[in-house]
Amino acid sequence: MLREHIAEYGTAEDGRIFSTGTGGTYSSSAHSYVWQEARKLALTPEQVASSLAARPYDLRHAAVSLWLNAGVPAPEVAKRAGHSVDVLLRVYAKCIDGQQEQINGKINNALDT
């Protein structure tokens, strides 16, 4: 869909995908309105009533959490997210959950070699 949009409408001079009819930027209230409408289309009524993806920024948080839980090394995640490793671990350490068995296996494998 994104490729089709770009093929049909192009991008703004600065590379932005979405711009106003005069080439300007949309206001934060316009972004918020569209985001809330998109949530209604994409989520169940129960999810819409929850805080799930309440703001576009929540997608960034979800991506960083996914990368960490997938085992991407913290320095690489920090680089991609624009954080220092210190900030990354302070903010996101609590999202790394449910991996005890996998982690123990890695430690055991390292000790076996």
pLDDT of 97 reads: 62
Q: Judge if 63 and 97 occupy the same domain.
A: yes
Nearest to 68 by CA among 100, 94, 48: 94
Nearest to 74 by CA among 98, 65, 60: 65
Q: Contact, 25 vs 19, CB < 8 A? A: yes
Range of the domain at 24: 2-49
Domain count, the chain: 2
pLDDT of 64 reads: 92
Q: Judge if 40 and 64 occupy the same domain.
A: no
Q: What is the pTM of this model?
A: 0.59
Task: Give the residue carrying structure tokens 């680089």.
Answer: 79
Q: How remote is the C-alpha of 80 from its chain's centroid?
A: 11
Q: Judge if 67 and 84 occupy the same domain.
A: yes
pLDDT by 10s per residue, the chain, length 113: 999 999 998 888 888 888 888 888 899 999 999 999 999 999 999 999 998 899 988 888 889 988 988 889 999 999 999 999 999 989 887 776 667 788 888 899 999 98
pLDDT of 96 reads: 65
Q: Judge if 66 and 43 occupy the same domain.
A: no
